[in-house]
């Protein structure tokens, strides 16, 4: 996925949008992310987690009884965020979209291999057609396909919006 961004002058001192390659490098290189889902009563639920940017979507896994899985069982709305935590340095990224379950043995095997390559043996999964670790603490796999990606550059400040 290669996208062209639109700089929002209302929130920007920058004179050019952040290039998609820089945003994608941040998504690929991060090792910690935050996922926001929506509870049944409409309140947000935010949790840190590990994940992967596959070039088309953000992928993560979660136990079927965890709050985020229960939230996604009621509605697919999700946002994934990452950033430096600094006000004047780095790049913050927000991926907004719909989370969908990933199933199928070959696709789950490909993703399990990618988790292992990125995170090492701590994230070494077996899989069946439905989940990671089917004989253990079963983990459902989701992908968040972006409807919108926001990049917040911090030096100079600039807000760039990307849409597929």
Asked if residue 140 lies in contact with residue 131, where contact means CB atoms within 8 angstroms, the answer is yes
pLDDT in tens, 71-101: 999 999 999 999 988 999 999 999 999 999 9
Mean pLDDT score, 121-133: 94
- Structural domains of the chain sorted by starting position, each given as residue range(s) with its CATH number in brackets: 6-162 (2.30.110.10)
Report the alpha-carbon distance of residue 39 to residue 68 in Å, rounded.
Answer: 8
Q: What is the pTM of this model?
A: 0.94
77: closest CA among 96, 58, 64, 61? 96
d(CA 54, CA 95): 13
10 Å Cβ neighbour count for 106?
A: 9
pLDDT in tens, 11-28: 888 889 999 999 999 999
pLDDT of residue 2: 75
């Amino acid at each position: 996925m290669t996208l062209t961004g639109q700089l929002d002058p209302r929130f920007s001192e920058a004179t050019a949008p952040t290039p998609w390659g820089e945003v994608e490098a941040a998504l690929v290189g991060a090792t910690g992310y935050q996922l926001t889902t929506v509870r049944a009563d409409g309140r947000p639920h935010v949790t840190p987690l590990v994940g992967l940017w596959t070039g088309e979507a953000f992928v993560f896994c979660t136990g079927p009884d965890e709050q985020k899985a229960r939230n996604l069982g009621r509605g697919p709305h999700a946002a994934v965020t990452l950033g430096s935590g600094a006000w004047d340095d780095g790049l913050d990224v927000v991926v907004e979209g719909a989370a969908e379950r990933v199933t199928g043995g070959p696709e789950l095997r490909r993703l399990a291999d990618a988790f292992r390559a990125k995170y090492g043996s701590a994230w070494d999964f077996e899989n069946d057609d439905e989940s990671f670790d089917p004989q253990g603490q079963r983990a459902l796999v989701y992908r968040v396909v972006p409807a919108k990606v926001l990049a917040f550059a911090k030096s100079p400040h600039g807000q760039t919006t990307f849409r597929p």
